[in-house]
């Protein structure tokens, strides 16, 4: 008992200090220093083999050095390169100095002091959602922001391939295809005589719009046709092709005239080969 009570003042002092600390903490709490990360709304549209800037900006009441991490989340379906990892840490920046990019982004990324990320020599597999996480070394609060990036290949000059440049009225169908060598996610439109052409009872566009079918053709379909192909980063127009539609009677007259001409030629040849005695 004497041992237990030998230092009563020390035990009281420790208990008193602990209670005072709690009281001071409740009366004067530590300031909440959040990291706010902002950026422009909307997605960034990049061009393959070019450069894209994912712009953000952060603010904090703390004076500590930032730790910036960028992460890429690729689409679960429809990705250009399904064999690559769905989620990858793109780069980590420590205090705006040291940067540690992932292997597939080596020599292709740069982090600015305001947190923005620059991607160079864009690949189709770079497409996806980029998430930035910024922390201040003195704080426990983390700031987040997301940026959507799409990557497209520019569309090369399209060409119209027509099944037949000459057709007979009410007797045939004509199909035209809009073809181009390069380009991703193309959207197609058709022009007739320079005016937009849409789906109709005789003008049928394919599901993707790259094909146009006229069935049956009429005299009014005689005109020039061209296609437009575009995506988020480019636009191209084909040279016009001419479709000529003949009347049925005109075709019969032409065919009849050809038959008569052939008959005259054959008769003349026969007379020349067999002269009369």
pLDDT digits (tens, 9 = 90+) for 99-111: 888 899 999 999 9
Residue 249 has pLDDT above 90, yes or no: no
The CB-side HSE value for 38 (13 A sphere, CA atoms) comes to: 5
The pLDDT tens digits for 45-69 are: 999 999 999 999 999 887 788 999 9
Homologous superfamily (CATH) for 159-250: Immunoglobulins (2.60.40.10)
**Which one has a higher pLDDT value, 276 or 172?**
172
The pLDDT tens digits for 143-167 are: 999 999 999 999 999 999 999 998 8
**Which one has a higher pLDDT value, 259 or 56?**
56
| Among candidate residues 56, 59, 61, the one with its CA nearest the CA of residue 38 | 56
**36-152 and 159-250 share one CATH topology?**
yes
State mean pLDDT over 209-233. 96
pLDDT of residue 168: 81
**Which one has a higher pLDDT value, 28 or 237?**
237
pLDDT of residue 254: 55
Residue 80 in tokens: 């250009």
Residue spans of the domains in the chain: they are: 36-152, 159-250
Homologous superfamily (CATH) for 36-152: Immunoglobulins (2.60.40.10)
The answer, as to whether pTM is greater than 0.85, is: no
Q: Which band of pLDDT confidence, cut at 50, 70 and 90, is reported for residue 26?
A: very low
Which SS3 state, helix, strand or coil, does residue 115 take?
A: coil
State mean pLDDT over 246-259. 60
Percent of the chain with pLDDT over 90: 58
DSSP one-letter string for 205-241: E-TTS-EEEESS--GGG-EEEEEEEE-SS-EEEPPPE
pLDDT of residue 259: 58
pLDDT of residue 99: 84
């Amino acid at each position: 008992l004497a041992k237990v009570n030998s230092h009563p003042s020390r035990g009281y002092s420790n208990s008193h200090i602990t209670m005072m600390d709690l009281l001071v903490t409740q009366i004067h709490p530590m300031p909440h220093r959040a990291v706010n990360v902002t950026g422009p709304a909307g997605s960034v549209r990049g061009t393959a083999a070019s450069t894209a800037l994912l712009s953000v900006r952060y603010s904090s009441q703390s004076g500590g050095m930032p730790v910036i991490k960028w992460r890429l989340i690729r689409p679960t379906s429809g990705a250009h390169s399904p064999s690559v990892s769905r989620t990858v840490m793109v780069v980590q920046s420590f205090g705006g100095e040291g940067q540690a990019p992932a292997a597939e982004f080596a020599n292709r990324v740069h982090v600015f002091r305001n947190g923005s990320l620059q991607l160079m020599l864009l690949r189709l597999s770079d497409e996806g959602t980029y998430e930035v996480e910024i922390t201040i070394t003195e704080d426990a609060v983390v700031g987040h922001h997301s940026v959507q990036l799409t990557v497209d290949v520019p569309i090369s000059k399209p060409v119209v391939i027509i099944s037949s440049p000459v057709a007979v009225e009410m007797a045939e169908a004509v199909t035209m295809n809009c073809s181009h060598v390069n380009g991703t996610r193309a959207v197609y439109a058709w022009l007739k005589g320079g005016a937009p052409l849409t789906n109709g009872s005789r003008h049928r566009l394919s599901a993707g719009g790259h094909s146009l079918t006229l069935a049956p053709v009429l005299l009014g379909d005689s005109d020039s046709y061209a296609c437009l192909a575009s995506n988020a980063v480019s636009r191209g127009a084909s040279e016009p092709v001419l479709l000529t539609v003949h009347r049925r009677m005109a075709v019969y007259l032409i065919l009849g005239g050809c038959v008569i001409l052939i008959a005259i030629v054959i008769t003349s040849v026969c007379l020349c080969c067999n002269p009369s005695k």
